[in-house]
Structure 1
Amino acid sequence: MKVPFKLAALVLMAGTLTACAVGPDYQVPEQVKDVPFSSPYQHSNLALNWWQAFDDQVLNQLIDKALVENRTITQARANVGRAYLDFRDADNNGLPTGTIDSGYQAYENSTLDPSDDDIVTRGYSTGISLSWDIDLFGKIQRASEAAQANLQQADILWHDAQLQIISQVAISYGDYRGAQLRLKVAQENLSNLEQSRAIVLARLDAGMASELELARMDAQLYEVKANIPAYESQLQTADAALSSLLAQRPGQLALDDSKNSLHLKQLPQLQKPVAIVQGENYLRYRADVASSERALAASTAQIGVATADLYPSLSIGGFLGFLSGSGLSLNSSSQSWSVAPTLSWKAADLGSVRARINSAKASSRMALADFEQSVFTALNEMSLSLKNYNLSRQQEIMIAHQREASHKAVRIARQRYNAGSGEFLDLLDAERELLRSRDQQAQLEQQTFTRLVGIYKTFGGGINVL
């Protein structure tokens, strides 16, 4: 049968008609003002293992579990699958489609001829129905480009979801250990205050101190005791945050190891400093920048999709199979084929077409503005995270010196007061200053850890530890 060859020739000839794609060809922006942006997005492997530099087994276990159990990551992963299927669907639109059909038809009085009156005609049909939209002006190509950009954006957002969850787990873990540290400091402070109270009480029994001095010491002691429930509340809050991130019920986490509780109650520390490579384009690790760039690519492609409607569209339909009467005889005499090219043009709706083109261009301008803003936001966040971390480290150094000085002052004031040569108010002030410096040091340790995590987060995980 020569018909299939004729159809194949027609399909081949139609394929040669797919020439250009209307609308702008997308180019990745090389720079935003004076900020270079030529490197494509790169998902750093550091983003998924940077926390191991802390050498904290509990933190490692929490993050490993969050990467498996967290529902935000599950949702982002499913979004990648959906975007891939959308891309496959859009990309397949450039290929012929077909269905295998088999049907039966019965009708009476098929014509106005009186001879057909009261005549019932029956027939069967079976075969392949084909249709193909010829992409004369690149509408399908542009739609495929947009779908591909959306797929790439979904993949970027999936990696970003992992980085965000890792950072949130690390910060919540730091909150938990920070609350534990402040609780431990408060308990140590209570012990020190009780020693001072014992001295005051002994002097009171000896007639060398007053009830006022004992009352003031008790007031300071109860002030420390009153803060303990606040630290316990912070522990519960951090536990709830971690449980939520790991998709667990409240109270199911067991962060303490009784065999090594003193070590586990310390905040994670880096053994080596953070390394910032001069000249490195860290923007390529920022998922928000890369995501907005892919959104810009998709919106640019949509301009071509809308522009293609200004021009005629060509589609080809066809049938290859068998048609028979009521006897259902499928043989060479019942073979049938048809080819039906259709040319259509929205000539009466060009106003709406131009409106859609202008709308697509406006969306592209919005996407470009969003991309440019994301670049400047990223640059400022990275710079601020480094400055805040360095300032926090400086604070830690100063508060460590302050604590040493306060501890020395308490020791001297206690010795003098116990010997009868010192004033009670000097001891009270020294105790109060030591309490404050100890608690402030614990807060700064937690703050420094949180800001260190912030560096990894704002740099997209693309940062090294020396």
Structure 2
Amino acid sequence: MKTAFKLAFKFTTLALMVGTLTACAVGPDYQAPQQIKDVPFSSPYQHSNLALNWWQAFDDPILNQLIEKALVENRSIAQARANLGRAYSVFRDTDNNSAPTGSLSSGYQAYENSTPDPSDNDVISRGYSTGARLSWDIDLFGKIRRASEAAQAHAQQADILWHDVQLQIISQVAISYGDYRGAQLHLQVARENLDNLEQSRAIVLARLEAGMASELELARIDAQLYEVKANIPAYESQLQTADATLSSLLAQRPDQLALSESKNSGQAKRLPQLQKPVAIVEGENYLRYRTDVASSERALAASTAQIGVVTADLYPNLSIGGFLGFLSGPGFALNSGSQSWSVAPTLSWQAADLGSVRARISAAKASSRMALADFEQNVFTALNEMSLSLKNYNLSRHQELMTAQQREASQKAVRIARQRYNAGSGEFFDLLDAERELLRSRDQQAQLEQQTFTRLVSIYQTFGGGIDVL
């Protein structure tokens, strides 16, 4: 057994000596871009804690429940989580290639006439071996190290993409919930419009019976009334579509959601609204919350490391194989006399294929340039999306406020026109125009409420969930 210990000591010493030779690696060392044109990029990706609870600022218990359930049940999130586990398993497997590998084996062999010598005729030989077989690829030029760097970057990218899927699912649930409440709001407005038109129709009908109005006037008011009724199935279809989308996002079968309505007179629950304004912190680098930017940066790191992997093929590769155990013949005696060991270093070089190696290096460098271009484009896309989302939200809020004032004015105009027409001092067409304008303003206000909510979710989405409310 002393020989075995000596061999193990020699093998360890050899490992330490070779380790000093593998301290360097060919290929470029990756450095994250610090600036793209005049855009600084010095902060690494950060998954904001706000990303998974930002929607709670709406103080909508139903929306909270939907999102919390989606984070647990959604299959896209489950798939991204599984992909994350797979990526880190690949990284651990790749990283382990830098260490010696080995296996324990035990075998028996029997053979006859092992040589052409006539004296071996009809001689049956038997042998038995047991021990450990070791192999080690010496990473002289950093091929394994670069491969490990690439695998780690891919694993980190999978982590970022997992967070991105959560962000997207939260956004989709919120938007679909807004669509659902928006369709309910449209239905509520349509019912209010029907009630309003029924009141005007009753006045026209009374004047018709008194000989003070014509059939044309009644027909015109009926036309508006039926137009509103014709829009109701479209709103109901939007409601069913939003319900189906939410059910899909929550991994539920159709018609299982129970989105309650307001307890006040059976009215639909209004769209979620923030009680506080959106807060943009001056000087904050929101790019670090963008998963697409961070993902492309990790892809750039992986492609840079891949250059070193293929560059290492320009140089020789050294591997060492070994055996430590027992070999015995007839009798199968396992003792110091049958103890065996072997060391077999192998040097290989793709000398006859260097043209292909250089072609692979050129391809790897081109892939790295492509990854850099993709990263830079994502940065500019992110900056413009964030700016546009804020502008669109502010414009939508201003438009919504103006439409609210328009609705108030239209309601006043209908009230005055109806009073004058009923008193016989007003024209029917004034009443008809006032009714038509009120219908349009009410519907537009409902549409803008939904649009404002959707654009608010877009801010959350484009800022990577890293934005706060005051």
With the shorter chain as reference, the TM-score category is over 0.9
Query: Structure 1 CA distance, aligned partners of 2:37 and 2:54?
Result: 32
Does 1:395 find its partner at 2:399? Answer: yes
AA of the residue aligned to 1:21: A
Residue 73 of structure 1: how far off its partner (Å): 0.3
1:415 aligns with 2:415: no
User: What CA deviation, in whole Å up to 9, does each residue of 1:111-166 have, x standing for no partner?
Assistant: 23332233221100000000111110000100000010001000000001000000
Q: How does 1:336-351 map to 2 (within 5 A)?
A: 336-351=340-355
**Match for 2:319 among 315, 319, 344?**
315
SS in 2 for 1:130: strand
The answer to whether the Cα contact below 8 Å between 2:262 and 2:269 also exists between their aligned partners in 1 is: no
SS of the equivalent of 1:42 reads coil
Residues 58, 383 of structure 1: alpha-carbon distance in 2 compared, 3 angstrom cutoff: same
* Matching of residues 223-242 of structure 1 within 5 Å: 223-242=227-246
Contact 2:289 2:463 in 1 (8 A): yes
The equivalent position to 1:439 in structure 2, one of 428, 443, 455, is 443
Matching residue within 188, 194, 214 for 2:192: 188
- Provide the residue aligned with 2:380 in structure 1: 376
Output the amino acid matched with 2:414. V
Residue equivalent to 1:248: 252
SS of residue in 2 equivalent to 1:406:
helix
Aligned to 1:385: 389
- Note if contact 2:188-2:267 (Cα within 8 Å) is conserved in structure 1: no
Higher mean C-alpha deviation, range 410-419 or range 99-108: 99-108
What's 1:143 paired with?
147
Question: In angstroms, what is the RMSD of aligned CA positions?
Answer: 1.1
TM (norm. structure 2) is 0.97
Checking the alignment, whether the CA contact within 8 Å between 2:184 and 2:268 is kept in structure 1 is: no
Unpaired runs of 5+ in structure 2? Answer: none
The answer for the alignment partner of 1:74 in structure 2 is: 78
Amino acid at match of 1:153: Q
Aligned-pair CA distance for 1:262: 5.4
Q: How many residues align?
A: 466
Q: Which string of whole-angstrom CA distances, capped at 9 and with x for unpartnered residues, describes residues 431-450 of structure 1?
A: 00000000000000000000
Q: Is contact 2:261-2:269 (8 Å) kept?
A: no
Is 1:98 the counterpart of 2:102? The answer is yes
Structure-2 separation of matches of 1:418 and 1:316: 104
TM-score normalised by structure 1 residue count: 0.98
Comparing 369-378 with 109-118, greater Cα deviation is found at 109-118
Cα pair distance change 1:173/1:359, threshold 3 Å: same
Could you tell me which amino acid in structure 2 is paired with residue 209 of structure 1? A
Unpaired segments ≥5 residues, structure 1: none
The residue identity in structure 2 corresponding to 1:460 is G
Runs (4+) off by over 3 Å: 257-264
For residue 16 of structure 1, give the secondary structure of its aligned residue in structure 2: helix
Match of 1:24 in 2: 28
Match of 1:49 in 2: 53
State the AA in 2 paired with 1:6: K
The C-alpha deviation readout for 1:276-328, integer Å capped at 9, x for no partner, is: 11211110000000000000000000000000000011111100000001311
Aligned-pair CA distance for 1:352: 1.1
Task: Output the CA distance in 1 between the equivalents of 2:9 and 2:155.
Answer: 38
**1:260 CA displacement:** 5.5
Instruction: State the alpha-carbon separation in 1 of the partners of residues 100 and 218 from structure 2.
Output: 94
Match of 1:274 among 262, 269, 278: 278
Q: Which amino acid aligns with 1:447?
A: Q
